[in-house]
Chains A and B, each alone.
Chain A
């Protein structure tokens, strides 16, 4: 539009136009609210063991599992599907790792083996979803709904209905350790998100996923291998959810079969939608999903910090999803466009007159 604008201003404008910009604004607002309640909220100190300690660090730590499931969900949503099973895959992953570790020696080897086992099991669950969606042609929400509800049952069967606990220092380090003063979980989650972003955006993979989401038939005619890609995406989402389950259980070294990962699919969907990914498929934004995940973690922590009953947050999140869905819908967009056009017209006339 204005060709004489300066570089930084243009860049800022570009940022403002991104939907996740509003996510960043919301994070800033929430932090501001906390700051008003406690002026020292943002303070980050160096703890006794040389690690950074503070509320912000806690938020980053809490955001880690949400980042992982949001990235996985983001890719699935891009293909026009949905993965409702992420929360249940998390609890299965937690159950598998805790059951394994409770009978294994406290060594680095068994910690690694537990992570390997989790990756295998969650990949298998993801593959079940993938095969049902890509080969059988089932609607994604049905197949993942089955895994969502059966997965929690599976976790209960694995642990015998108990909340298994275990001890393993190296496994615990994943959740409670620090590198360069920052929590390992957040660095790992960020690393995986960046790797995933590079993988899909520096190759044609992301484009192909979007093509499937926009028009599966056209994508097939254009030579996109729909089946293999869908299978890969669901397996990836499963593995990411499994790792998120490791993050969630490793911090307390206990799996709570009825609460671990419960309703986290809500968080994942919300993070993805906040990030500007359309639930109708055909476009996605991994950066946005990460921003959305951090926003949700900030929101959760803020609610606890302010002393509001945290039982109200799921309902609030659901309302936000509904509102964002409405904003994404064609009818509302058209209404907005008409208003903008109506506002622009008189201005144009003035310009012509001048």
Chain B
């Protein structure tokens, strides 16, 4: 009798903490990514030195601007529960086509717009295949990946150099914001500015607009989203178009920085972008994640490259192995977190 009448025990301090934490489990992977990023900086500074200084950190942004743009695009797709494997190949085709057009005498700005539009076209094709013909996203985008790579190889198999006086190179030139001692300056490129604008726009769209809420809703449950009357079809088309266009934009930024393009550019970048998004806390099954987390994920990967170069004992070929390993670890972490939440 007495057991029936006793009130439920009040949550103790520890339990309340667990409960509060479990409400914010979504942010746990993102938090982990930030911790890892800071940990890597501290380790790098302690082990190799010259990490926490302006030019290293500026270069981190400059060298990874294209990856940040790619990752933002992929975050949209992954949030809906889809995937885009074609981004690396789109970059290859778009940059080779763009450079060849410019070298053929096209107006650079029109050629650049075309580079972005090539990405848009690939994204739209993937979107149509996925949405109207119910091809699985990875099959559709895999076919686009092979297509992009194949088209790039048709155009050229040797590095295509951009002319030295081409205005596109201006997007890759460094602008000193703060002139530090020796080479220790704060510098950015227009490419970094573009990446920052993309991140800000994506943040606004995802967190402040209906489209953004629909993206999350589709990832949570496509069926529920459709039953609620959300524009599922149009939104799913849009995420692939966004991802494709951003891949085109990343091609512009990357080509501007490098000054040349080749058909083998961007092999494995889809893995980098997926890994960056996942490290940043985006669930591969969709429905949860943050654009800013993805940016941190991209910077973690970029910093990893810097540390590997500084270390020197790890062969650069091993980078993809390490990236793959990190991706797997984070996916396992997500599984564990999800399993906890279901309990």
Contacts and interface: CB of A to CB of B under 8 A. Distances in A.
A82 B138 contact: yes
B85 A152 contact: no
10 contacts: A138-B328, A142-B83, A146-B271, A146-B328, A149-B268, A149-B271, A153-B317, A312-B150, A326-B133, A331-B133
Contact of B129 (A160, A161, A322, A330): A322
B147 A319 contact: yes
A321 B143 contact: yes
A279 interface: yes
A145 B271 contact: yes
Interface stretch (B26-34, B204-212, B319-327): B319-327
Interface stretch (B15-23, B151-159, B177-185): B151-159
A137 B150 contact: no
B142 interface: yes
Given A149-B271, A150-B321, A326-B133, A314 B157 contact: no
Interface of B: 83, 85, 129, 132-136, 138-140, 142-144, 146-147, 149-151, 153-154, 157, 267-268, 270-271, 274, 284, 315, 317-321, 323-325, 327-328, 331-332, 335
A156 B317 contact: yes
A153 B318 contact: yes
A311 B129 CA distance: 25
Interface of A: 82, 84, 132, 136-139, 141-143, 145-147, 149-150, 152-154, 156-157, 160-161, 263, 266, 269, 279-280, 309, 311-319, 321-322, 325-326, 329-332
Contacts of A152: 320
A84 B138 CA distance: 11
A152 B320 CA distance: 8
Contacts, number: 118
Contact of B149 (A314, A321, A332): A314
Instruction: Tell me whether chain B's interface is mostly helix, strand or loop, or mixed.
Output: helix
Contact of A279 (B139, B319, B332): B139
Instruction: Tell me whether chain A's interface is mostly helix, strand or loop, or mixed.
Output: helix
Given A149-B271, A318-B147, A331-B133, A157 B315 contact: yes
Given A142-B331, A160-B315, A314-B149, 18 more contacts: A139-B138, A141-B142, A142-B284, A149-B320, A156-B315, A156-B317, A161-B317, A279-B139, A311-B154, A313-B150, A315-B153, A316-B150, A317-B150, A322-B140, A325-B133, A326-B135, A329-B135, A331-B133
B146 A266 contact: yes
A146 B149 contact: no
Contact of A331 (B134, B138, B139, B332): B134
B321 A154 contact: yes
A312 B149 CA distance: 10
B136 A279 contact: yes
B136 A280 contact: yes
Contact of B151 (A138, A156, A157, A315): A315
A336 to B, nearest CB: 13
A318 B143 contact: yes
